């Protein structure tokens, strides 16, 4: 990632007029994020379409860097100004702070000069002087390693304490370090055609790492359905489900449809019903749009149906009225969760998450599991999965299910818990439950 820093600095000019650049776009994103706490993905959707691909990538890199390291950067700024600066100035300082962290001491002078020049256009010449003075002091503070793990690796103190209790200090540090690294992009190859050379093989069959510089080609292949951008961790629940040709399978929390498509690709023939919660009247959900698009890419031999319903309240009559099966050979319940296993990708989750969310998620997940289990035929199976690494959303939910009467007909056949620092991909939990025949 050092290349990105140097490249950004080398393109700097002494002109105070802001250019339509990734750096300036990142400053706007950071300002909005700090002012309104908007979701990162929603902010990125609003990036100016006129930005060139390289500048768009730079904007995302800088913006993500600030969000990842927010509390470390805030700690370095603490006490350096007598009053809070304007949002634009704060955004410039936060981006400069991230570049200082990323670039190291050798680039300190260039980073500060670049931030000052950008501040002249983004803010004002007078405020650029403030940026110059504060950034120099900030660089010295960022060069020091904080004494506490939460500040050093920019995670909430309560979350670090929670993980330390679960995993121990050594594993927690590995997890935090993992979360702070930009996520590689992986693709699942879907056809029998030769795999392009620019897709790098991985240790996970069928998955390839997408290197920078070929995005136009990747976009074309994705639109043609030859590949699907997907983390290798997604294979865990699908492998446990083991879809077979000719089966009827329900994906119970399907949007945006990557796992539904994965199931269809493995089946080749059969039926996939993809269900997810309906959108409130007058609103739209890009995840449901993508679900529809992904289902349309399914193999010709697989019949697909998209359903918008609350899994917990949709009874057998509901499915019957839609001419859909009332029971299934297999059900995938990839339940909504805390996303603690995918914080490399969902970088703002750690700032939105609260300690009480784990119990709340666990209760909802158990309700969903009860509802999904009612749709499994005799002799069928269900896979409960999450992208969480927390026991309250994995083992505890399964225990709660088997402690109830609903768990009686089922047995736990297999389980997988993947931790990012050990597996080298996103974290996930997956549990295969088989219903007595």
pLDDT digits (tens, 9 = 90+) for 42-54: 999 888 888 888 8
Looking at residues 401-428, what average pLDDT do you find? 97
pLDDT digits (tens, 9 = 90+) for 13-28: 444 444 469 999 999 9
CB 278 within 8 A of CB 247: no
Q: Residue 18 has what pLDDT?
A: 45
CATH number attached to the domain at 2-144: 1.10.940.10
**pTM, to two decimals:** 0.91
HSE value, Cβ hemisphere, 13 Å, CA-based, for 8: 35
Q: Residue 412 has what pLDDT?
A: 98
Q: Where are the domains of the chain?
A: 2-144, 154-181, 185-229, 232-435
Mean pLDDT, the chain, integer: 93
- Fold match, 2-144 / 232-435: no
HSE value, Cβ hemisphere, 13 Å, CA-based, for 144: 11
CB 420 within 8 A of CB 426: yes
Q: Residue 67 has what pLDDT?
A: 98
Bridge-based pairing state of the strands 185-189 and 227-229: antiparallel
pLDDT digits (tens, 9 = 90+) for 250-292: 999 999 999 999 999 999 999 999 999 998 776 678 889 999 9
What is the fold of 232-435? Rossmann fold (3.40.50)
Take residue 279 and report the two structure tokens written for it.
């959108």
Question: If pLDDT is split at 50, 70 and 90, which confidence band does 7 have?
Answer: very low
Answer yes or no: is pLDDT of 303 > 80. Answer: yes
Looking at residues 80-103, what average pLDDT do you find? 97
Q: Residue 198 has what pLDDT?
A: 93
Answer yes or no: is pLDDT of 8 > 60. Answer: no
Of residues 343 and 13, the one with the higher pLDDT is 343
Question: If pLDDT is split at 50, 70 and 90, which confidence band does 12 have?
Answer: very low
């Amino acid at each position: 990632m050092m290349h990105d820093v140097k490249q950004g600095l080398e393109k700097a000019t002494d002109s105070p007029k802001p250019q339509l650049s990734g750096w300036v776009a990142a400053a706007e994103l950071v300002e909005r994020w700090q002012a309104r706490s908007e979701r990162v993905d929603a902010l990125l959707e609003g990036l100016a379409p006129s930005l060139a691909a390289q500048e768009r990538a730079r904007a995302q890199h800088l913006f993500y860097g600030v969000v990842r390291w927010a509390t470390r950067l805030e700690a370095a700024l603490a006490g350096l100004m007598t009053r809070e600066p304007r949002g634009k100035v704060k955004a410039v300082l936060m981006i400069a702070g991230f570049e200082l962290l990323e670039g190291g001491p050798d680039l300190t002078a260039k980073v500060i000069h670049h931030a000052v020049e950008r501040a002249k256009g983004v803010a004002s010449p007078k405020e650029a002087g403030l940026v110059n003075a504060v950034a120099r002091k900030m660089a010295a503070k960022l060069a020091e390693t904080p004494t506490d793990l939460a500040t050093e690796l920019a995670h909430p103190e309560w979350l670090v304490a929670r993980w330390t209790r679960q995993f121990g200090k050594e594993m927690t540090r590995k997890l935090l370090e993992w979360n702070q690294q930009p996520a590689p992009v992986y693709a699942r190859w879907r056809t029998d055609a030769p795999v392009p050379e620019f897709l790098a093989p991985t240790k996970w069959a069928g998955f390839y790492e997408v290197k920078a510089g070929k995005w136009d080609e990747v976009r074309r292949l994705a639109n043609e359905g030859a590949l699907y951008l997907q983390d290798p961790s997604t294979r865990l629940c699908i492998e446990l489900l083991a879809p077979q040709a000719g089966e009827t399978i329900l994906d119970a929390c399907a949007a945006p449809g990557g796992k539904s498509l994965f199931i269809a690709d493995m089946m080749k023939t059969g039926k996939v019903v993809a269900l997810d919660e309906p959108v409130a009247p007058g609103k739209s959900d890009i995840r449901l749009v993508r679900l529809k698009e992904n289902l349309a890419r399914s193999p010709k031999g697989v019949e697909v149906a998209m359903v918008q319903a609350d899994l917990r309240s949709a009874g057998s009559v509901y499915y019957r009225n839609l001419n859909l099966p009332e029971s299934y050979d297999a059900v995938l319940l990839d339940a909504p969760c805390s996303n603690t296993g995918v914080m490399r990708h969902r970088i703002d989750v750690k700032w939105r998450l609260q300690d009480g969310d784990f119990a709340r998620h666990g209760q909802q997940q158990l309700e969903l599991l009860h509802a999904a289990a009612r749709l499994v035929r005799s002799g069928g199976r269900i896979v409960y999965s999450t992208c969480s690494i927390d026991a309250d959303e994995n083992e505890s939910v399964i225990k709660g299910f088997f402690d109830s009467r609903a768990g009686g007909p089922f047995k736990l056949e297999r389980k997988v818990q993947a931790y990012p620092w050990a597996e080298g991909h996103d974290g996930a939990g997956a549990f295969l439950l088989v219903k007595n025949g």
